[in-house]
Amino acid sequence: MTYQELMPFGAIVEQLRQFCIQRRTGTAFIVSDDNRMAQVHLDSGNIVMLLCRGTRGAEALAAMRTMLRASLRFDDNYVAKPDNLTTSGVSLADLLADPAPLRARTPVVAGAEPLRPRPAPAAFAKADLLKLERMLAGHIGPIATIVCAEHASEASNLRELVMALAADIPDRKQAADFRLEAGRALGLGAV
Q: Structure pTM? A: 0.50
pLDDT digits (tens, 9 = 90+) for 141-168: 888 888 888 888 888 888 889 998 998 8
Least confident stretch, 23-27, 84-88, 170-174: 84-88
Question: What's the pLDDT at 156?
Answer: 84
Residues 6+ apart with CB under 8 A from 61: 50, 52, 92, 95, 96, 102
Confirm if 17 and 51 have CB atoms less than 8 A apart. no
pLDDT digits (tens, 9 = 90+) for 28-68: 899 888 888 888 888 888 888 888 888 887 788 878 878 88
pLDDT digits (tens, 9 = 90+) for 80-136: 665 554 433 335 555 555 444 433 334 444 444 444 444 555 678 888 889 999 999
Length of the chain: 191
Confirm if 182 and 175 have CB atoms less than 8 A apart. no
Pairing of strands 7-8, 37-43: unpaired
Question: What's the pLDDT at 103?
Answer: 39
Q: Is the pLDDT of residue 3 over 70?
A: no
Question: What's the pLDDT at 82?
Answer: 57
Q: Is the pLDDT of residue 187 over 80?
A: yes
| Distance between CA atoms of residues 100 and 61, nearest Å | 12
Question: What's the pLDDT at 101?
Answer: 40
Q: Is the pLDDT of residue 10 over 50?
A: yes
List the 55-56 sheet strands across, edge first. 7-8, 69-75, 26-32, 37-43, 46-52, 55-56
Question: What's the pLDDT at 90?
Answer: 39
Question: What's the pLDDT at 112?
Answer: 46
The beta-strand segments (E) located in 90-134 are: none
Confirm if 21 and 72 have CB atoms less than 8 A apart. no
More confident call, 58 vs 178: 178
Q: Is the dihedral of CA 63, 67, 71, 74 positive or negative?
A: positive
More confident call, 77 vs 113: 77
**Confidence class for position 140, pLDDT limits 50, 70, 90:** confident
